Amino acid sequence: MTTTRFAPSPTGRLHVGNIRTALHNWMLAKKGGAKEQGRFMLRIDDTDAERSKEEYVEAIRTDLAWLGISPDGEERQSARMALYEAAFEKLREAGRVYPAYETAQELEVKRKILLSRGLPPIYDRGALEMSEADRAAKEAEGIAPHWRFKLDHDEPITWEDGVRGSQKFDPAQLSDPVIRRADGSWLYMLPSAVDDIDMGVTDVLRGEDHVSNTAVQIQMFTALGAQPPSFAHEALLVGKEGKLSKRLGSLGCDAFREQGYEPEAIVALLARLGTSLPVEPIAEREKLLETFDLSTFGRAPAKFDDNELHRINAAIVHQMPFEKVRGFVPDDFTEAAWHAIRPNLEKASEVVEWWQIVTGPIEQPEFSEDDREYLGEAARQLDFDADDPWHALTGALKESTGRKGKALFLPLRQALTGMNHGPDMGELLPLIGEDEARERLTRAANG
């Protein structure tokens, strides 16, 4: 069974990049359909006690629920420290972690020297040269060590990446990563591997920025006696003018919700952005799942464009069933009203303004003498016994006044709705109703 996970750090709200990663992991787990239903797990990466906030944990859960990406289980790293401790002991006994005493400044100097010689800034394993006495001396000075994972340099690290294809890393070209700080706290690398093993994660799908972490973590899985999961790294998301990071705040899940975007629109867009499949306003998740395939993911950065979200959102609203809006429209708002108004909306919430046009009061523009006379005529000709009062009215007025085109339609629309454009009048007029329509026409005629 496929098990995937989404592992956010609760240090802020979910932004569009996180949502995309969560969605793709959910899709990877669920794409088999009901028969081969995989598991999608939420893992809260809250080892950084200072920056992690409970309100963000709550917000992550709320955001995922709003998007309809529901986890099949949740784990929190802060509750799993004993597991990391045990793994650490195991690696220590096997000689795969070692204490190091360099200060941040010393490491920086080493880095600069290597860079100035045109060499890659790889950690020189100076700590491995230390004798027992050297270490005792450091401890006596009150300097506690941080801990590094010792990479095995014997063989290249290889994997078949779900997006990037064959990957190969020479471990000697990587620094032994620091996995634990001097104060005992954990860096991301080891706990993540421990959890992936313990949670039975079969597929790790994450951003391209994690590729070199994967090389290191593959050795951790092996050192802990586990088979590494399958890995896939998707290209990063960028904005239409380049980097997204600056604007991420404005592209958070909360902002999308406040701006009235439908979760279906966000999901439809992010599901296929950066893939070779066309981005389409597909509201049914099943349909998106059917076509989900890592082999369609491109290597070039995916471009997020809010105009595209806007377009997809409008198209989703235009096909949205009445049940979806029932919750936020007035009781007397009917399904027919929804169908009349729906094609004019970009956001579903705008329906409230349109309904206001139906129920009134509306504000009319100033009309010319000529138009006032015309609208008076319209008030007299209005006939709700006709099958289609709007076409009956405009047909009769065309006959009696000789007006056509804009001169025929626009004053009527302005008098009846106060607007220059909007929903189809044939559908709108019956919703406004006979008395109210006649009152509006008469009012316009009287100026």
Write out the binding residues for ATP: 246
**For residue 302, which phi and psi values (nearest 5 degrees)?**
-85, 140
Considering the complex, state which of residue 45 and residue 234 has its C-beta at the smaller distance from ligand GLU. Answer: 45
Only segment of 1-9, 303-311, 336-344, 357-365 that touches ligand GLU (CB under 6 A)? 1-9
**Cα gap 207→7, rounded to integer Å:** 12
Beta bridge partners of 97: 149
343 vs 310: CA distance, rounded Å: 14
Backbone φ and ψ for 144, nearest 5 degrees, come out as: -85, 145
Residue 202, interface with ligand GLU (CB under 6 A)?
A: no
List 17, 30, 45, 333, residue binding ligand GLU (CB under 6 A) = 45
Coil vs helix vs strand at 161: strand
Question: Could you give the residue ranges of the DSSP H alpha helices within 187-305?
Answer: 189-198, 211-223, 253-258, 263-272, 285-291
Give the binding range for ligand GLU (CB under 6 A) out of 3-11, 122-130, 286-294, 338-346.
3-11
The count of chain residues that interact with ligand GLU, using the rule CB under 6 A, is 8
Q: Applying CB under 6 A, which of residues 2, 9, 78, 222 lies at the interface with ligand GLU? A: 9
Q: What does the alpha-carbon distance between residue 314 and residue 336 come to, in Å, rounded to a whole number?
A: 19
Q: What are phi and psi of 98, to 5 degrees?
A: -145, 150
User: Smallest distance from the beta carbon of 95 to ligand GLU, in angstroms?
Assistant: 26
Rounded to an integer, what distance in angstroms lies between the CA atom of residue 253 and that of residue 380?
A: 52
Region near ligand GLU per CB under 6 A, out of 4-12, 78-86, 218-226, 238-246? 4-12
In whole angstroms, how close is the CB of 7 to ligand GLU at the nearest point? 4
CB of 144 vs ligand GLU, minimal distance in Å: 25
The single residue among 192, 364, 394, 417 that binds ligand GLU, judged by CB under 6 A, is 192
Question: Helices (DSSP H) in 238-350: which residue ranges?
Answer: 253-258, 263-272, 285-291, 306-318, 323-326, 335-341
Which CB atom, from 190 or from 316, has the smaller least distance to ligand GLU? 190
Give me the numbers of helices (H) and strands (E) for the chain, helices first please: 19, 12
Instruction: Please say which residue, 210 or 310, places its beta carbon nearer to ligand GLU.
Output: 210
Tell me, residue by residue from 142 to 181, as one string, x for binding to ligand GLU by CB under 6 A and - for no binding: ----------------------------------------
Which residue, 60 or 269, has its beta carbon nearer to ligand GLU? 60
- Shortest CB 8 distance to ligand GLU, Å: 6
Reported as type and span, the H/E element at residue 131 is none
In order of 84, 117, 162, 227, the CA distances from 189 in angstroms are 11, 29, 21, 17
Would you count residue 8 as binding ligand GLU (CB under 6 A)? yes
Angle (CA) 202-203-204 rounded to 5° is 130
Under rule CB under 6 A, residue 359 binds ligand GLU: no
Q: How far is CA 387 from CA 32, 231, 393, 430, in A?
A: 50, 63, 11, 10
Please state the closest distance from residue 84 (CB atom) to ligand GLU, in A. Answer: 14
Closest distance to ligand GLU from the beta carbon of 57 (Å): 13
Give the one residue of 31, 39, 206, 342 binding ligand GLU; rule: CB under 6 A.
206
Within positions 314 to 343, which residues make up the interface with ligand GLU, using CB under 6 A? none
25 binds ligand GLU (CB under 6 A): no
Applying CB under 6 A, which of residues 3, 4, 7, 440 lies at the interface with ligand GLU? 7
The DSSP H or E segment spanning 231 is: strand 230-234
Q: Helix 405-417 to helix 389-401 angle, to the nearest 10 degrees?
A: 130
- Residue 435: partners with Cβ closer than 8 Å, 6 or more residues away: none
Give the residue with the Cβ less far from ligand GLU, 192 or 394: 192
- Residues recorded for the chain: 447
CB of 287 to ligand GLU, least distance (A): 27
Q: Is 234 among the residues that bind ligand GLU (CB under 6 A)?
A: no
Question: Is 203 one of the binding residues for ligand GLU (CB under 6 A)?
Answer: no
Closest approach, Cβ 212 to ligand GLU, in A, equals 12
- Where does this chain bind ligand GLU (CB under 6 A)? 7-9, 45, 188, 192, 206, 210
